[in-house]
Chain A
Amino acid sequence: MAIKQKLVFRFPPSVVEQPFIYRLVRDFDLMVNILRADINPDKEGRLMLELSGSEPDYRRAIEWLKQQGVRILNLKQQITWNEDRCTHCGACSVICPSGALELSRPAMTVTFDESKCIVCELCLKACPARAMKTLLEQAR
């Protein structure tokens, strides 16, 4: 059974330097599609990627990553849309590069499809009503 998953890896500062991607490809035979990588203000590395391969390989890889101290999260829940704050102006629809935020016609209301979101975070400051938040911000 083949599997395809969008994930976020969070690396503590101590392991940021390790060649994780190389190991995923070589030792676990996975295909890796990197969506975005950065280091947040707490010096924590963050990698958003899509992994695909066979299910047993995928499970082994996740196990191994966890042992290395990598925190694994589902990419889907990284950005949240606060529908109560959204005024449905549509300003975000030309900023969002993935089509996750879109204006539906003729309703003229905005919808958020988190499965399309690539966590680029452009909407966070582009939304005048500040209806878009990161999980990180919400936790604070």
Chain B
Amino acid sequence: MGIERTYEEINHKIRSGKAVILTAEEVLDLIAGEGAAGAAKKVDVVTTGTFGPMCSSGVFLNFGHPKPRIKMSEVYLNGVPAYAGIAAVDVYLGATALPPGDPRNRNHPGEFRYGGGHVIEELVAGEEIRLEAHSYGTDCYPLKKIETAFRLSEINEAVLYNPRNAYQNYNVAVNLGQKTIYTYMGILKPNLGNANYSSAGQLSPLLNDPLLKTIGMGTRIFLGGGVGYVTWHGTQHNPSVERGENGVPKTPAGTLAVAGDLKQMQRRWLRGLSMLGYGVTLQVGLGIPIPILNEEIMSYCAVRDEEIFAPVVDYSRVYPYREAGNLGLVSYAELRSGAVTIKNRQVPTASLSSYAGAREIARTLKEWISAGKFTLTRPAAPLPSVEAGIQLQALPQRNPDEGGF
């Protein structure tokens, strides 16, 4: 019989300062020496991390009411529009929102110097933010316009709520075309000039728990330098893809929706980014602790970059036009070495997500747990995994005027 542990036992050890915690990178040496069974006996928690651009991110804000009150229907934060179609002084500011006057891609490739992601970064940093809000006025909310400024500490709530983060594996983007293209996967030079990837591989949260046996609704996590929670499965969550023997998906698969109080997060782990020719986004730092409940859970954490494969996809034609097929699979060990072989050619690689950042997040989470500041949570409900049989849909394209009945 191998080792079995409960969440309660692990938390008890954390509180008494006796828990053994390693990062998903550190644990690899131990497993190499003692096997998953031996390592499972010694280690209580494995910490993971990832720090990459995550477009499906944003913040819910509640400003509190001015005097007189206002029902905000059009809102700008430092000139960037926020969604105001909810209650009177509540908005959602998305990471990719752009000021109405931004030239976009009119002069291609557009620079996208400032947008939602940058406002979120400045909010977290405690900088002053300009607020402009318009309204039509009602008997209960008479004010029609307000221009003011505020800092994060001066508003009621600011909740980072990201509908899709922490992608489990991702495409490797290349360009088979004849001219440079500008994508959300960075600048892709023509004729297989470079191959860009974006996953922390062996450190990535969902690649260390590929079948979602421990990560679920309510799992407490590192989010943006503070504490957050998994709130749902992420949008486009797609667990039913092809997997290797180790359970690791060979294409983009699971995703997480996460939330946390922005007021305790840090600028260092929430960064506004400008993707040339594409738009603005937010680089999010996220880390998840994995409770080593038994040997099986440890065997998933044993996954190495050599054993995680990602599909190489052409972004000049195949990706944008939804054509089928990829250019084969490459491992994260190859990707991280600086070059991969594609179509018998050596292609230089670059990452959009920061491996150094992922490593630091996993270490920070380890320190928090070691210090007894952060305990683990048993999920309130599991997330849908392989057995849920989810099929990703494409948008129907039909004439909306021809009734379906």
A interface with B by C-beta (< 8 Å): 85, 87-95, 103, 105, 107-109, 125-126, 128-130
CA distance A127 to B348 in the complex (A): 17
Contact check, A130 vs B350: say whether CB atoms are below 8 A apart.
no
**A88-B357 in contact given A95-B187, A125-B111 (Cβ < 8 Å):** yes
CA distance A126 to B109 in the complex (A): 11
20 A-B pairs in the complex with CB atoms less than 8 angstroms apart = A87-B354, A88-B356, A89-B351, A89-B354, A91-B350, A91-B352, A94-B194, A94-B196, A94-B350, A95-B187, A105-B338, A108-B359, A125-B109, A125-B274, A125-B276, A126-B187, A126-B276, A128-B273, A128-B275, A128-B276
Within 8 Å by CB of B53, from A90, A93, A128, lies A128
Within 8 Å by CB of A87, from B271, B276, B350, lies B271
4 tightest Cβ-Cβ pairs between the two chains A and B: A128-B273, A94-B194, A108-B355, A94-B350
**Which residues of chain A have C-beta atoms less than 8 A from B355's C-beta?**
88, 90, 108
Contact check, A91 vs B336: say whether CB atoms are below 8 A apart.
no
B349 within 8 Å of A (CB atoms): yes
**A89-B338 in contact given A125-B276, A128-B275 (Cβ < 8 Å):** no
Apart from A126-B187, A128-B274, A128-B281, what are 10 other A-B pairs with CB-CB below 8 Å? Answer: A87-B271, A87-B283, A89-B354, A90-B355, A91-B187, A94-B348, A108-B354, A126-B186, A128-B53, A130-B113
**Which residues of chain B have C-beta atoms less than 8 A from A87's C-beta?**
51, 271, 283, 354, 357
A interface, over-half SS: loop
CA distance A107 to B276 in the complex (A): 27
B353 within 8 Å of A (CB atoms): yes
| Interfacial residues of chain B within 200-218, with CB under 8 A of chain A in the complex | none
CA distance A108 to B271 in the complex (A): 19
**Which residues of chain A have C-beta atoms less than 8 A from B109's C-beta?**
125
CA distance A95 to B182 in the complex (A): 12
- Residue of A93, A94, A103, A130 most packed against chain B (CB within 10 A): A94
Contact check, B350 vs A108: say whether CB atoms are below 8 A apart.
no
CB distance from A59 to the nearest CB of B (A): 41
Q: Residue of A at shortest CB range from B114? A: A130
Interface string of B258-293 (1 = CB under 8 A from A): 000000000000010111100001010000000000
**Which residues of chain A have C-beta atoms less than 8 A from B186's C-beta?**
91, 126, 128
Interface string of B337-367 (1 = CB under 8 A from A): 1100000000011111111110100000000
CB distance from A32 to the nearest CB of B (A): 30
Within 8 Å by CB of B352, from A85, A89, A108, lies A89
